[in-house]
Structure 1
Amino acid sequence: MNPYQEKIGIKMWAEADRPREKLLLNGRRHLTDAELIAILIGSGNKDETAVDLSKRILGFYNNDLDALGKVSVKDLSKFKGIGEAKAIAIVAALELGRRRKEADGPDVLKIVTSADAFAVLQPVFADLNHEEFWILILNQANYLIGKQLISKGGMAGTVADPKIIFKTALEHNAAYVILAHNHPSGSLRPSQQDINITKKMVEAGRMLDLYVLDHLIVTDKLFYSFGDEGLI
């Protein structure tokens, strides 16, 4: 093999090209996604540098960090050069990023539109590959006073128990609730079960003077509002 074609390890690179040194010299915003991941995994394998390995992983997921954020430790460990410890480091870092996004924004939020509700719920459902059912709990002035996981299921669905939903809302002295669940498939079309449970919840809420304002079906970037569609 021509020696000039051989792979050069990161330690042999010019200092400005090493991810760690590049971060120290220029700041984190000057690093590519692959370089940031390379810092997490520390080293590559005998055939490629940590940066090359990171580029290969990103390329497999179409350079989509949202898609990478949904990947399991087991899936990442299938890449040559990524053991369990490195896979855990990547998953943990992406989860921290998701939680930071969820924590952004003011402490007190007023929910006036379905888009307001979606802004609160999108980080909750981000990167899930199974269904979960949540509620937003609002006071009489429509300010958010809490959000609560009700149930979780598989890819196909989850069960929402009205008794648990209204018990939780009443314990928080709620005036209104907004129902929400995600569709990991990416489909925004409500199922007949979604329609039936919404009607059931709305009717039960009226009897308790605890009104269901909306029911959102959430995907990664979009949502469907029963309220906006005139179904509540």
Structure 2
Amino acid sequence: MSNYQNKLGIKAWAEADKPREKLLLQGRRQLTDAELVAILIGSGNKNETAVDLSKRILNSYDNNLDSLARLSIKELSKFKGIGEAKAISIVAALELGRRRKELEAAKSNKVITSIDAYHILKPLLSDLHHEEFWVLLLNRANVVMGKHFLSKGGVSGTVVDPKIVFKTALEYNAASVILAHNHPSGSLKPSTADMQITKKLIEAGQLLEISVIDHLILGNKEYLSFRDERLM
């Protein structure tokens, strides 16, 4: 039975397991690296699905996208099921990612004002049709140590678990955090739930000596800072 299941094509998968459908239903950030690569290559071969082929390629390079990005078209084409056209698609996509990373690295990761945090968060929370909640982890010098996705909701809200927020902060030994979520409607007005979760997280942070220094709401092209508006 297991051998038969391994050879099932993408068309026979459950709807939620198909990479393209999963991207449409759940958003691009919910896909694994292998699923994203599978979308690029489109199809596998008679013995494996596009996702299985992608996993095999990634496993050959310790699942390291930087290593994969350094491969030439000729090197990628050595994998059975990867022709020149598929190799070109992978190389082009990873090159775009590399160029984007260079632009991000050129920007300062130190947060001095709310607009510094906004510039870091905007690429993560812009152009979404649902709400997502993220947290920025900062060290004592206010340099960003990490950006972490916490939860996803619908068009009108998302639920955040304080335990997850501070578990993440403690794992990275963060000195402070900046909370952030988006409003797909474009409205920047905090909801009652926004106010309540902010207060709850501030109080929890005080017990753990991890400061919640701001909470940003991102709209279409603007943002609101709880700190700037004296809402915290």
- Aligned residue for 2:161? 161
How far apart in 1 are the matches of 2:98 and 2:161? 27
Deviating above 4 A after TM superposition, structure 1's stretches of 4 or more consecutive aligned residues are: 96-103
- Which SS does the other structure have where 2:157 is aligned? coil
Q: How do 1:192-203 and structure 2 match up within 5 A? A: 192-203=192-203
Q: Alpha carbon RMSD of aligned pairs, Å? A: 2.9
- Aligned residue for 1:81? none
Q: Deviations over 1:54-111 (max 9, x none)?
A: xxxxxxxxxxxxxxxxxx69xxxxxxxxxxx9xx9xxxx99x9799657623366111
Q: 1:194 to 1:103 in 2, by over 3 A?
A: farther
- Aligned residue for 1:224? 224
- Aligned residue for 1:120? 120
Q: 1:229 to 1:101 in 2, by over 3 A?
A: farther
- Aligned residue for 1:177? 177
How far apart in 1 are the matches of 2:101 and 2:123? 5
How far apart in 2 are the matches of 1:226 and 1:186? 16
1:143 CA drift (Å): 0.4
The structure with more radius of gyration = 1
How far apart in 2 are the matches of 1:100 and 1:223? 26
Q: Does 1:148 align with 2:148?
A: yes
Identity among equivalent pairs (%): 55
Q: 1:127 to 1:98 in 2, by over 3 A?
A: farther
What is the TM-score of this pair, normalised by structure 1? 0.57
State how many pairs are aligned: 146
How far apart in 2 are the matches of 1:171 and 1:143? 16
Q: How do 1:24-39 and structure 2 match up within 5 A? A: none
1:179 CA drift (Å): 0.1
Q: Deviations over 1:157-193 (max 9, x none)?
A: 1101100000001101100000000000000000000
How far apart in 1 are the matches of 2:105 and 2:118? 15
How far apart in 2 are the matches of 1:219 and 1:98? 25
1:151 CA drift (Å): 0.3
How far apart in 2 are the matches of 1:133 and 1:152? 6
Q: 1:121 to 1:218 in 2, by over 3 A?
A: same
